[in-house]
Amino acid sequence: MPAAQPEAKASRESMVSTSSQPSRSQRPAELQRPVAQQLRPDEEEAAFRAEAEAAVERALERDRNSDWWKKLQAAPKKHVPQRCDRLPIHRETASREDGCRLPTRGFKVLAEVQPVRAQPCAGAPVRGGRKKGDSLRAVEEGWVKLAGEDGWICQGLEEAPSQKKCLEALEKPRALAVETLAKMPGRQMLEVVADDGVDILREPFDGALLLGRRSFGEFVLADSQSYHGWVRLSDNEGWAQAVSGSGEKLLQGIRPEELQLTQSAAAEPEEVQKEQVEIAMQEAARKEALRQLESAALSGNSAFFCAALEVARQKGVSKKDIARANAMRS
């Protein structure tokens, strides 16, 4: 009897251990798969990547069939370069000093052939000509500057414009600084008669760049005048308004007899009149050189003063005036 007890005990332990293990039907689903169908982690990652790549390929194929993809695939249009003119670095005044901006005046040619020159002087190169009966438009006069083209025509004989008229005006201009034709060709002298003086501008329009100023009683030299009351100053010094918008005279033309250089201009020979005009022009140039010298002295710039001093000596400024200007430097 005692020997049978250990056997019974072992039988009960084996039954307990067997009942504590789960049956095959109670195991999880992943454990119930066949071993061949179970994936390892690296295989699952490879499958995920393959599925993502397949999705990208499908998206690309869908995009390739779209309209915008076809536009990208199309050959680009070839643009033929077009030649253009050089652009100016600085603003040019020619864009406003043409027939489309400045007022014009019509003329009719009376001479058989009147030459068109590159500059307003008899010795300038000839660029063409106008025949008798031809009509033309001008933007400036003294010598007539043609509108819309580069060229100048003398209103009379080039040697003596007042002796014979070669151009006939067809209409009256809006305003002129000097209404009568000068007896001698070339630059003309005008006096500032405005109480407040006049401004020197780069272009013949209000609001243009200010270059300087002339006070009452000073003289200026001009090469030509426009048809709205402005004069072009000599040596490219700019423009000055000679007649205001209300018709008031700002600049007055000066004749030799008004400077008491002669008692009767009509009675003097042509050579004497020419000499008197030259003397008047030299006097105006001397005064202008003195004014520039005084401005240089007040500026404090030694180089500027030396250059102005050299010009003043050439124009005949007296030693007394030079000494007075030199004293202004201190």
User: Residue-wise pLDDT tens for the chain (330 aa)?
Assistant: 444 455 554 555 544 444 444 444 444 444 444 544 555 677 888 888 888 888 888 888 888 888 777 777 776 777 666 666 655 554 444 444 443 478 888 899 888 888 888 888 877 888 888 888 888 898 888 888 888 888 888 887 766 656 678 888 888 888 888 877 666 667 788 889 888 899 999 998 888 899 899 988 888 888 888 888 898 898 888 999 988 888 888 998 876 555 554 444 444 566 666 777 788 888 888 888 887 888 788 877 888 888 888 888 888 888 888 888 888 876
What are the tokens at 133? 């009966």
**pTM, entire model:** 0.48
Q: Which amino acid is at 91?
A: R
315/293 Cα distance (integer angstroms): 11
Contact between 116 and 127 (Cβ < 8 Å): yes
224/154 Cα distance (integer angstroms): 11
Q: Where are the domains of the chain?
A: 105-169, 174-254, 264-330
Q: Give the model confidence (pLDDT) of 272-293 as tens digits.
A: 667 777 888 888 888 888 878 8
Neighbours of 108 (CB within 10 A): 14
**CATH fold for domain 105-169:** SH3 type barrels. (2.30.30)
Radius of gyration, alpha carbons of the chain: 49
Q: At residue 327, what are phi and psi to the nearest 5 degrees?
A: -70, -25
Q: Which amino acid is at 129?
A: G
DSSP state of 181: P
Q: Give the model confidence (pLDDT) of 114-157 as tens digits.
A: 888 888 887 788 888 888 888 889 888 888 888 888 888 888 77
60/69 Cα distance (integer angstroms): 10
- Looking at domain 174-254, does it have CATH number 2.30.30? yes
